[in-house]
Amino acid sequence: MEGYLDYKKNPKEYVYTKVYESLIEARLALEMLKRGLLKNAFASFSFC
């Protein structure tokens, strides 16, 4: 299945992808805070 990451077959890649995804979400949230978009920033932080 394309676009699906199986954590049982490749746990290291799964963890790497999840950490990378969280870093991207945190960076977006910080950018929103800088722009004064508090509601959007809080929503992004809750996904991290």
Per-residue pLDDT in tens (0 to 9) along the chain, 48 residues: 467 777 788 889 989 988 999 999 888 888 888 888 776 666 666 655
Asked if residue 21 belongs to a domain, the reply is yes
Asked if residue 18 belongs to a domain, the reply is yes
Asked if residue 23 belongs to a domain, the reply is yes
Asked if residue 5 belongs to a domain, the reply is no
27: domain range? Answer: 11-47
Asked if residue 3 belongs to a domain, the reply is no
pLDDT at 36: 80
Asked if residue 16 belongs to a domain, the reply is yes
| DSSP calls for 1-48 | -TT---TTT-HHHHHHHHHHHHHHHHHHHHHHHHTT-HHHHHHHHHH-
How many structural domains is the chain composed of? 1
Does the pTM exceed 0.85? Answer: no
Asked if residue 39 belongs to a domain, the reply is yes
